[in-house]
Amino acid sequence: MAKKNSASSSEKAKLSPRDERTLGQLVGLADAVVEAAEKRRDPHVDIPTRSLSNVRYNQTKRIIEMGRNTTRRQLFNLSQAKSFMQTLLVGSGCRQLIEQGKTTSIRGLYYLLKHTIEGTKEETFNDQSECDPVIEDVEVILNSLREEMHLYAQKRGDMVGEIVLEDSGDEIDCARMGSGGYGIPSIVEPEVIRFKRCDAKFILHVEKDTVWQRFNEDKFWRKHKCILSHGAGQPPRGVRRMLHRLHNELKLPVYCLLDNDPWGYYIYSVIKQGSINLAYESARMAIPDAKFLGLRSRDFERCSLSPSVRIDLSDTDRRRAKQIAHYPWFEKKKPWQNEIKRMLENGFKLEVEALISKDISYVTEQYTPARLAEQDWLD
């Protein structure tokens, strides 16, 4: 009978310093509960409140931050007992992943932890929507990225350009990735992704895959010595974290080419200041120095675009634009106030793809090079 070469799933893996730290935090969380039980106290966990009322804009750091308000979750509170159990269960599952040196999706963790509690008909989790918020709770308790807990989300976003990196031991030359580019993974921490050589001068982040394909096909990144990325709309955590690392570790400026609509403004806001929902991760994701390269409200006239490319603003668009105008990081910036005001006065929005009406490569050969040369962007 042949010997098994694969390690048992219960074997402990060699841990990185980051893994050691996260594991220590998880063990500390469990130890605090055990200590309370041994002293005949009500075991509890204090969870930073993830709501708009507990979020503030730090004008010095120029990012959104979570406040100090917390919510206490207690074992001997009938209405909280299940969520208390779920919190520790998620912590236990993440500890298992770290010790075994394995990763899984948040969907995978849900199935790993889902079972009927012995002696009852009660399920640990009824569905995925019950598990996801608890994962975020554990993130904020530990002040750790979920990726540091060996959890990944759906991969969405690509990049190409003048950089060579190492991904899980494999060398990737992003200038030799063909038409598809390098798919940015959910987990991009230094233990997984290492930057080996970079000849890029800046990063151009575009909103959608369709625009990214045009820039890639036209080899914009080669002509202008840059890294080209997209996040398929609202960029996922992996893309935002990758941009943050490239900007901070390699000192690469980040320019965002997004649609001239409230959604494009919001995407820029998230990249630049952070997300209200993920305020606890802003320090590791937000890029305060990111610049909005376009599309601009004045481009309809400046680029002599056809009236057929205009998209009428909906009532929802108008409400959203006014909300964004009152964001603390935009409300005192006159150029942004003028930009939003002009879009509302125009009564229409524009997608970056509208520039194709001029010429198939107008956006790569004229519009973007001109905006960069003139330093014509919004901050």
Q: Are strands 104-105 and 151-152 parallel, antiparallel or unpaired?
A: parallel
pLDDT at 15 over 90: no
Which helix (H) or strand (E) element contains residue 223?
helix 220-223
Kindly state the average pLDDT of the residues 96-111: 92
Domain boundaries, the chain: 17-42+77-152, 155-257
The predicted-structure confidence for 197-246, as pLDDT tens digits, reads as follows: 999 999 999 999 999 999 999 999 999 999 999 998 889 889 999 999 99
Residue 111 is a catalytic residue: yes
What does the pLDDT read at residue 58? Answer: 87
What does the pLDDT read at residue 307? Answer: 93
Kindly state the average pLDDT of the residues 276-290: 85
Over pLDDT 70: what percentage of the chain?
A: 97
pLDDT at 300 over 70: yes
Which helix (H) or strand (E) element contains residue 254?
strand 254-257
Kindly state the average pLDDT of the residues 335-341: 96
The predicted-structure confidence for 141-158, as pLDDT tens digits, reads as follows: 888 888 888 988 777 899
Architecture of domain 17-42+77-152: Orthogonal Bundle (1.10)
What does the pLDDT read at residue 252? Answer: 98
Kindly state the average pLDDT of the residues 55-62: 87
The predicted-structure confidence for 352-370, as pLDDT tens digits, reads as follows: 999 999 999 999 999 999 9
Which of 111, 182, 280, 367 is catalytic? The answer is: 111
What does the pLDDT read at residue 7? Answer: 44
Residue 70 banded pLDDT, cuts 50, 70, 90 = confident
Residue 4 banded pLDDT, cuts 50, 70, 90 = very low
CATH number belonging to domain 155-257:
3.40.1360.10
What does the pLDDT read at residue 329? Answer: 87
Kindly state the average pLDDT of the residues 54-78: 87
What does the pLDDT read at residue 8? Answer: 47
Residue 69 banded pLDDT, cuts 50, 70, 90 = confident
Q: Mean pLDDT highest for which of 2-11, 78-87, 213-222?
A: 213-222
Three-class SS state of 96: helix
The predicted-structure confidence for 25-42, as pLDDT tens digits, reads as follows: 999 989 988 998 888 888
What does the pLDDT read at residue 9? Answer: 52
Residue 56 banded pLDDT, cuts 50, 70, 90 = confident
